Amino acid sequence: MILFIHGSGFTGDVFWQQLPAFPGSIAPNLPGHASHGTATTVSEFADFIERFIKEHKLHEVTLCGNSLGGAIALEVALRQNPVVRSIVLLGSGARLRVAPQILNGLRNDFERAAPEVAELLYAKPTEEQLAYATDCMRRVGAGQTLADYEACNAFDVMERLGEITVPLLAITGEQDRMTPPKYADFLAARVPDGQARIVPGAGHLVMMERPVETNEAIAQFLKRRHKLGVTLAN
């Protein structure tokens, strides 16, 4: 089964175009994201994911994370959790430095910064997409959204990728301005069983802008790596 992990300032419903395509998959809200609890580091978020897996008795899990969610997936994989069989990253990387202007904007003038950050998440955003991303950040709140981006900024496992023992697929939008394609290529070159897939016409939220291509890439990866007869639901 696939456990989807959302990114900074979002909730699990960002995967609304993936959940129906992969029956039995799940996308929980991370602590502090329209949910109880709090977490401010990738390690703390990873603790939550491991507890979630244990409490829900999940097995044969593929972790699929966007941005911050991808960092969390990498952290759990580095812990050698035996339940995790593979990981898929969507617009993520082994190091996620955040531009100072983004951090300063979220810290000093959240209401102005939120729509500006939203625009960076897409290749060619529609008004509806911009409104969705901005509303998500507002719903999660200024404090938690900033904490998410600060967690990304502190994340760096570039020197540890060789320790990952499960298959990895890094999917990145060709026009991703937050984590450009070189991030996916870096992962594919250094994870022993890693590969990259670059999706044309997509930005950081590749699973929203190009859901068909993203879902097909995930399904092909699962079929090839785990010999699973994955058929996308209509």
Average pLDDT, the chain: 95
Percent residues over pLDDT 90 in the chain: 94
SS3 call for 171: strand
Residue whose token pair is 């995930």: 218
Q: What is the predicted pLDDT for the residue at 225? A: 72
In-domain check, residue 190: yes
In-domain check, residue 8: yes
In-domain check, residue 174: yes
Which residues sit opposite 61 in a β-bridge?
A: 84
d(CA 27, CA 148): 17
Residue 57 belongs to what domain range? 2-226
CA distances from 116 to 42, 45, 90, 128, 173 (A): 24, 26, 21, 14, 19
In-domain check, residue 233: no
Q: Using 50, 70 and 90 to split pLDDT, how confident is the model at 229?
A: very low
In-domain check, residue 234: no
Q: Are 103 and 153 in contact (CB under 8 A)?
A: yes
- CATH number, domain of 148, equals 3.40.50.1820
117: CB partners within 8 A, 6+ apart: 9, 102, 105, 106, 133, 137
Please tell me the pTM assigned to this model: 0.95
In-domain check, residue 231: no
| Surface-to-core class of residue 177, CB atoms within 10 Å of its CB (0-12 exposed, 13-18 middle, 19+ buried) | middle
In this structure, what token pair is assigned to residue 226?
A: 């785990």
Domain count, the chain: 1
Give residue-wise pLDDT tens across range 48-74: 999 999 999 999 999 999 999 999 999
Characterise 139 by phi-psi region: left (phi > 0), alpha (psi -120 to 50), beta (else): alpha
d(CA 29, CA 37): 10
Q: Are 61 and 82 in contact (CB under 8 A)?
A: no
d(CA 83, CA 205): 27
d(CA 126, CA 225): 35
- Burial of 64-94, coded b for 16+ CB within 10 Å and e otherwise, reads bbbbbbbbbbbbbbeeebeebbbbbbbbbbb
Q: Are 206 and 177 in contact (CB under 8 A)?
A: no
d(CA 153, CA 132): 24
Which residues sit opposite 169 in a β-bridge?
A: 88, 195
Give residue-wise pLDDT tens across range 155-208: 999 999 999 999 999 999 999 999 999 999 999 999 999 999 999 999 999 999
In-domain check, residue 232: no
